[in-house]
């Protein structure tokens, strides 16, 4: 038989020979003991992410979160927001933190514990909603996306935040993640229920309205969805979507609440913040771009954006990229370079990378005819085994890289050996009337110590950050301390209110930080005690105090108890 004739009439054994040859080049995977190891490993990583949240119940909780819980508790106990406790966060932030403090009051558990529990439930609800949207939008051929993206979402919402767990940015991500996935479905023209779109918009509205800096995320996403929907259907159809109107309603309700319920936010908090907050740790754009936290997403997002817009042309990838850009704008607008402020940009960058990897695997590496004809024959295994194995291995690598970047639960691991247990013991033993005054530039460690000890700060500020802003620079021949008559209105308010509260409320302990966090001026070091002793009320009350002890960087003064007077 000639060669050409053989080619025209191949033998029946030819397909079998070709399959054997192919298996010699790329042998099929075989699982020992007949177990579906990819599914087990994939399930193990999901369980690990879920169990990871247990570590956040151990002290200490994030210090910024502790402050918000403390102020919410003062508010819940009858105090006036922005009067008895002054902070620059919006009223909605404290409204959201009222829930764990209310549950704490009902159950007797600490507010920090209830916050982690509430966030755990919120993450579970957010994940279930995201999983439902993904399972409805991904066709059966997208096995890698189906295996990788839910696992990556759990990792980003639970494991990745680390010490930023419970921060406002983290809460926003938990509330807004389903909205972003639903927004990609809306842009693609998927059939999504009115209720699902409405609820996702309301939840996202709560998240985005906490900080004005978050507004760029929904603005960019909604502009994209509006253009896509208007081109495919009509502008009227796009405007009939309930999600953006739900977010807008939350924003308007928040503004009205601030105006009519907490007007002191505009008359007290914002003027102080406008005068001093920008002076505290203010970074230039170049410094932010080179910062170890802001820099990586700054340079990674443009590259990933090219892939999302011009290679994948995926609505999901484009929406996540726009959210990442919005998160990056938020980080630059705040101008501090603090890790938690860039958390949204980092999370969306990693999520976008996962979407791109899954898309390439599903459309290029494992085309349909290979998945359908070859994988089904591998020892009778599920065709999803290989994608699950790939997702599990990739996530192990992500876990590994994250552990190199930031040691998991490092604050919790160092708690026993830190100064916090000793200070907590001193507070419980010596603060007989439950009132303390701490003069320190930072809010750690006295927050969360005051949360754990269930005590009150006598001053209206959580720290001396206002004075840090007032004395951020030192002009030539400037005095170390401004005379009262030369103080700005905001500094004069701090100088007066701290002294008045100290005189009236008589804290059991006065704790003064030796490190003022303020630059030296004319060769002299700023001293908080010396600064406030210029106020007659403060000096008069200080006569009742004796130096109790020096501990670490703190001088601790204790108020004398007079036998003929009741404590407090």
Query: What pLDDT sits at residue 447?
Result: 95
Query: What pLDDT sits at residue 163?
Result: 93
Q: Is 473 exposed, middle or buried (0-12, 13-18, 19+ CB in 10 A)?
A: exposed
**What is the crossing angle of helices 446-453 and 111-137, to 10°?**
110
Eight-class DSSP state of 560? P
Q: How far apart are CA 233 and CA 227, in angstroms?
A: 10
Query: What pLDDT sits at residue 34?
Result: 64
Cross-strand partners of 85: 81
Query: What pLDDT sits at residue 7?
Result: 42
Task: Identify the H or E element spanning 3.
Answer: helix 3-8
CA distances to 11, 17, 19, 21, 352 from 14, rounded to whole Å, are 6, 5, 9, 10, 44
Tens of pLDDT along 46-62?
999 999 999 999 999 99
Domain spans in the chain, listed from the N-terminal domain onward: 63-399, 420-559
Query: What pLDDT sits at residue 133?
Result: 86
Provide φ and ψ at 509, rounded to 5°: -125, 140
Query: What pLDDT sits at residue 38?
Result: 85
Q: What residues in the chain have per-residue pLDDT under 70?
A: 1-34, 136-141, 278-281, 366-383, 562-568
Q: Is 441 exposed, middle or buried (0-12, 13-18, 19+ CB in 10 A)?
A: middle
Q: Which of 198, 137, 158, 145 is nearest to 45 (CA)?
A: 158
Query: What pLDDT sits at residue 83?
Result: 95
Instruction: For the full predicted model, state whether its pTM sits above 0.95.
Output: no
Query: What pLDDT sits at residue 568?
Result: 55
Q: Are 229 and 215 in contact (CB under 8 A)?
A: no
**What is the crossing angle of helices 216-232 and 194-208, to 10°?**
150
**Within 79-193, where are the H helices?**
91-107, 111-137, 143-154, 168-188
Cross-strand partners of 557: 510, 547
Q: How far apart are CA 269 and CA 490, in angstroms?
A: 10
Q: How far apart are CA 349 and CA 351, in angstroms?
A: 5
Query: What pLDDT sits at residue 562?
Result: 67
Query: What pLDDT sits at residue 237?
Result: 83
Residue 545: half-sphere exposure toward Cβ, Cα within 13 Å: 27
One DSSP character per residue, 322-340 reads HHHHHHHHHHHHH-S--GG
């Amino acid at each position: 038989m000639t060669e050409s004739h053989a080619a025209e009439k191949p033998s029946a054994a030819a397909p079998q020979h070709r399959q054997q040859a192919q298996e010699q080049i790329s042998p099929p995977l075989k699982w020992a003991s007949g177990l579906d190891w990819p599914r087990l490993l994939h399930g193990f990583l999901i369980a690990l992410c879920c169990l990871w949240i247990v570590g956040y119940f151990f002290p200490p909780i994030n210090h910024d979160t502790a402050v918000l819980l403390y102020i919410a508790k003062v508010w819940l106990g009858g105090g006036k927001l922005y009067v008895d406790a002054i902070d620059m966060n919006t009223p909605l932030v404290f409204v959201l933190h009222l829930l764990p403090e209310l549950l704490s009051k009902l159950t007797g558990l600490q507010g920090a514990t209830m916050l982690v529990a509430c966030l755990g439930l919120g993450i579970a609800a957010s994940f279930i909603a995201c999983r439902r949207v993904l399972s409805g939008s991904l066709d059966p051929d997208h096995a890698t996306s189906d295996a990788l993206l839910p696992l990556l979402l759990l990792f980003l919402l639970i494991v990745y935040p680390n010490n930023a767990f419970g921060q406002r940015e983290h809460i926003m991500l938990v509330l807004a993640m389903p909205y972003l996935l639903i927004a990609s479905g809306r842009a693609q023209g998927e059939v999504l229920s009115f209720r699902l779109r409405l609820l996702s918009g309301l939840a996202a509205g709560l998240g985005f309205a906490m900080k004005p800096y978050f507004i760029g995320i929904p603005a960019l996403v909604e502009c994209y969805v509006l253009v896509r929907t208007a081109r495919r259907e009509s502008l009227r159809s796009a405007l009939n979507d309930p999600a953006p109107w739900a977010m807008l309603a939350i924003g308007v309700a928040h503004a009205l609440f601030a105006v009519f319920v907490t007007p002191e936010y505009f008359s007290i908090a914002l003027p102080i913040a406008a005068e001093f907050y920008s002076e505290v740790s203010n970074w230039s754009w170049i410094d932010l771009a080179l910062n170890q936290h802001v820099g990586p997403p700054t340079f990674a997002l443009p590259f990933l954006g090219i892939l999302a817009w011009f290679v994948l042309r995926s609505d999901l990838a484009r929406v996540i990229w726009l959210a990442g850009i919005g998160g990056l704008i938020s980080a630059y607008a705040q101008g501090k370079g603090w890790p938690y402020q860039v958390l949204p940009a980092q999370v969306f960058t990693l999520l976008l990378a996962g979407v791109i990897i899954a898309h390439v695997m599903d459309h290029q590496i494992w085309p349909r005819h290979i998945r359908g004809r070859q994988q089904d024959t591998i020892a009778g295994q599920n065709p999803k085994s290989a994608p699950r194995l790939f997702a599990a291995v990739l996530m192990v690598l992500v876990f590994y890289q994250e552990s190199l970047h930031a040691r998991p639960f490092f604050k919790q691991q160092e708690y026993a050996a830190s100064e916090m247990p000793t200070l907590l013991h001193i507070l419980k033993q010596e603060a007989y009337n439950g009132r303390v005054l701490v003069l320190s530039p930072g809010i750690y460690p006295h927050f969360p110590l005051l949360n754990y000890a269930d005590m009150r700060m006598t001053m209206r500020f959580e720290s001396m950050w206002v004075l840090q802003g007032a004395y951020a620079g030192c002009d030539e021949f400037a005095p170390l301390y401004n005379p009262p008559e030369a103080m700005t209105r905001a500094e004069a308010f701090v100088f007066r209110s701290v002294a008045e509260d100290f005189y009236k409320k008589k804290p059991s302990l006065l704790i003064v930080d030796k490190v003022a966090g303020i630059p030296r001026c004319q060769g002299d070091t700023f001293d908080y005690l010396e600064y406030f002793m210029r106020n007659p009320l403060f000096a008069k009350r200080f006569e009742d105090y004796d130096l109790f002890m020096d501990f670490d960087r703190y001088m601790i003064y204790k108020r004398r108890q007079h036998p003929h007077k009741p404590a407090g």
